[in-house]
Amino acid sequence: MEPLVAKGIVRSTKFLRSEGSLRSIHSHLKICTPENAKQDRFMKNPLIIANWKMKLAPQEAIDLAKKVKKASTKYKGAEVVLCPSFTELAEVGKIIDATGLKLGAQDCFWEEQGAFTGEISPKILQEYGVETVIIGHSERRTSLLETSQMIHKKARLVLSLGMRPVVCVGESFDERQEGLKDSIIIRQVHDALNGIWLNKMDSLVVAYEPIWVIGSGQDCDPEEIEHTHQVIRQALYDLFTEQVVDEQVKIIYGGSVDPENVSNYLSHATVHGVLIGTASWDATTFSAVVAGAIKP
């Protein structure tokens, strides 16, 4: 892979050669973070995305949306996005309308229309009120063999329609054990976003989701998450100006997030929010996660 030159910072491509010691790289990366990171404006309004996956039956999704709506008066201080199945988008959208809750989708296709059986266009999603679309989730990469080229085309189209893509990146257990984590993360960021232009109105989310943690109930070390988010930020600096990255891109974490660990994750300036699976399928548990996220 040809190295991409970062704009005014240390080249992140050093990680393509060797991940090296987590501790030494982590120390080095801290030098590259904004001086005012602790006052990062994203920390004041964490992004919380509930990914309902294919877990809930139609009535279960409707009931959950109603319960979340009822509890949403306590969600001030966070941006909360609900991502039901496609079949429940319309009904959930009606339930949460004018509440401050936002509607998201779990995936989309990379064309606005055409003969693509079984797919859904982001243009159609937009008509249902969807503003945010999850792209490249590890379950799609592994189970449906979604490629980097597909993810790139989806991200490009979503942005062109004025919507917000949530581009997921993350390493497998084997890649982690082989010391390839950072190089894998950087390559995924570059493959998904290289050549894409962000205008002043665009917003982008990159979600770090270590595959070996998802659904396992294991906690990832917050220090390692912070390190990885700094790696992602440097990879983004390769592709966009520092101002664009700092002002228009959120980097969030997804991987067995629950009420007990969310505040610890979000206490780090580099973590702007969370992508939640299992803990979002129950209204009480989800509300506890939100409460932990906005806790002073």
Q: Note the pLDDT tens digit of each residue in 71-83.
A: 999 999 999 999 9
- Is residue 137 part of the annotated active site? The answer reads yes
Q: Determine if the pTM surpasses 0.85.
A: yes
Which phi-psi region, left, alpha or beta, contains residue 226 (left: φ > 0; alpha: ψ -120 to 50)? alpha
Q: What per-residue confidence (pLDDT) applies to 240?
A: 96
| 208-247 pLDDT per residue, tens | 999 988 877 778 999 999 999 999 999 999 999 999 999 9
Tell me, yes or no, if 175 is annotated catalytic: no
pLDDT at position 43: 62
What pLDDT digit, counting tens, does each position of 35-69 carry? 444 345 566 799 999 999 999 999 999 999 999 99
Per the residue annotation, which of 19, 88, 171, 209 is the catalytic one? 209
Say how far apart CA 265 and CA 274 lie, in whole Å. Answer: 9
Please provide the average confidence, as pLDDT, over all residues in the chain: 88
Task: Classify 42-294 by CATH class.
Answer: alpha beta
Residue extents of the structural domains in the chain: 42-294
> Which of 88, 137, 139, 190 is flagged as catalytic?
137
